[in-house]
Amino acid sequence: MTTTTPTTPVNAPQGPPARPLGKPFGRSKLTSRGIANAVVLIAALYTMLPALWLLLASTKNADALFGSDILSFGDFSFGRNLSDLFSMDGGLYGEWYVNSLLYAVVGALVGSLISVAAGYAFDKYEFRHKEKLFGLVLTGVMVPPTVLALPLYLVASNIGMVNTFWSVFIPVLFNPFGVYLARLLSSGYVPNEVLEASRVDGAGELQTYVRVSLRMLGPGFVTVFLFQLTAIWNNFFLPMVMLSDQHLYPLSLGLYTWNSAATVSPEYYPLVVIGSLLAVVPLIVAFVMLQRYWKSGLTAGSVK
Partner 1 sequence: MSSKGAAPPSTAAADPPRRTGRRQQRVAAAVLLTPFTALLVAVFLVPVGYAIYLSLFSEDHEGLGFGGGRTVFTGLRSYLSVLQDPSFLSGFGTIALYCVIFVPLVVISALALGLLLDSGLVRMRRTAQMLVYLPHAVPGIIAAVIWLYLYTPGLSPVIKLFAQADITIDFLGLHTVLPSIVNIALWSGLGYNMIIFYAALQALPREVIEAATIDGAGGIRTALQVKVPIIRGSVVMVCMFSLIGALQLFTEPMLMNQATPMVNSRFTPNMYIYDAAFRRNNYGLASAASIILLIVTCVLSYAVTRWSGRRERRA
User: Is the separation of the CB atoms in 115 and 179 below 8 Å?
Assistant: yes
C-alpha distances in Å from residue 258, one per residue of 61, 93, 296: 16, 10, 39
CB of 65 to partner 1, least distance (A): 7
Contacts 24+ apart (CB under 8 A), 296-299: 296/219, 297/181, 297/185, 297/219, 297/220, 297/222, 297/223, 297/224, 298/223
Element (H, E) at 163: none
Nearer to partner 1, 87 or 285 (CB): 285
Nearer to partner 1, 84 or 251 (CB): 251
CB of 199 to partner 1, least distance (A): 7
Residue type for 28, please? Answer: S
CB of 59 to partner 1, least distance (A): 14
**Could you give the 3-state DSSP secondary structure of residue 44?**
helix
CB of 220 to partner 1, least distance (A): 14
CB of 49 to partner 1, least distance (A): 9
Taking the C-alpha atoms of residue 179 and residue 29, their distance in angstroms, rounded to an integer, is 45
Nearest CA to 224 out of 262, 258, 257, 179 is that of: 179
